Chain A
């Protein structure tokens, strides 16, 4: 991404006047189109941000663009949605849920994926290729296919005929969050394994060979050679998974139990869906959910892009 090619305009030599006019014109049009896209992609978010800082009565009465002539700002709405005991408030609880869900929701699948990817790339065993292709194919299976049975697996356990293989988990209250951890770990695995496998396979074979000759075992090679070498890859996959878990609505809403234990995005999604009483508080509530991943995303964009390119250019 860092290699900037020279602008084509600087390299045109010996062109006729007509060519020149045409080139300047297309470059003008190009500038305008590029600028237009950039603006269209930014204004809606800026509008929501401005709205989130306006008094609720103002939001109801006029559009956010009126702040340029009539600037009134307040943090009251943020205060209300986070801490109020009244309806539509107290979202701090759901924000904490999101944090509590996200940490294991990232660590567990990435750790398990790293182990699996190592075995798939550097341990020889029969059926390795088949297993890898199966996991690769699972990436594309819509998680909708798993929702109903997985939820009943948690609530009713697993029975084949009359034989109980796994009893009901009977998770209640805060403990329902465990379901969300497991669901996120499962759904995050295929992509994480695929990406990490791509990175691990690229590691030089001589390094592994040398370590093996020195008497290192597989688990030593994994910990001392492979993991340090793929740390950037793990970082980019962790960012992927972080964004996915933090921003997720479907899994949190389905497995998150009652409203008190659901993550912030799931509560917001329902609030937006009904658009009932208190819609004027949505901009502030939404921004609380948006700001953390946005900051992470901006700061760590380089890693994110690397993972994106590794995953897509090869896949």
Chain B
């Protein structure tokens, strides 16, 4: 009976998805909404039937890339993985993503790996107790949306407390590390983090003004996977008592750390089947997610597009910036970007001092220009329309690599245009 109902509901949902697409929509949330109305337990039942259940990934920074990493690592280990596409961070988005993949009302997968927005994570875990949870960090992001960091931490703490099998925590983020004491009885806690020598490459929000307050399992603890060395794309991961080197296809120290997080969650899921050497090898081949350091080839040169959404993410992105490339920075203030742009003042723009030119754009392009100039970085031009600015930027720097840093909604606009312009599409 349940099977028949699930099949019927999923058929209705798929019908709505087709109708939405015919009307020119993206078919994203509406089918999920219809299905949830028809059957509020649809998703719980669907994910509950998966052999390995559901793994959720949340935190301020790195959700999208880490979800992509875990998905590909598990696939490399032979699992069939259901995941939600970037941007659909909500239960309805997950339902909508699941609909086209259903066979007779069942999801044809071993496990679901889901990126969860902090604001929706609690609602989700109350509906569906995940077997695994990976919590990456709590940083200043969109305080106009969530209020305060401590509030965001409380939301994530409920995710940790809701997991039934294993929880993976950031050992270097005190707001995350303290969740270790709040997990259900019998739940395994494991860790990821950075090695002592890398502290300078990973400034924390607190570390900007206060002495480091690091907590969690020590870098050598067996239950922790540590990013122990990093030089450009050359990363080394300490797993157990061995070091595993990798040349990453991903860009920036933050993504190297996301790699450690993904390895730790994959180990928690696979248990004894986890093969460190094979997994680190698989990790080295994963490329950037949507707009997260993505490279576009334009007229025989490279443009790197990097999403920035909060101070620590922007600082890390600048730490990995090309100091000799012309630079465009796009800042919007829509809800998805965060209405409040004051966080730009918590970023040090000195790493751009050597760039031959810096231009700014976006609704808050003048805020960005003002910020740069107070750091002694002259801004060549400010054009609020990102597409006009991009054309001028590319025309002003016709050869050689260039880089673009952008908040979320401006990134969507720029990326769509860059895909049109790219020689062979994004790589």
A binds B: no
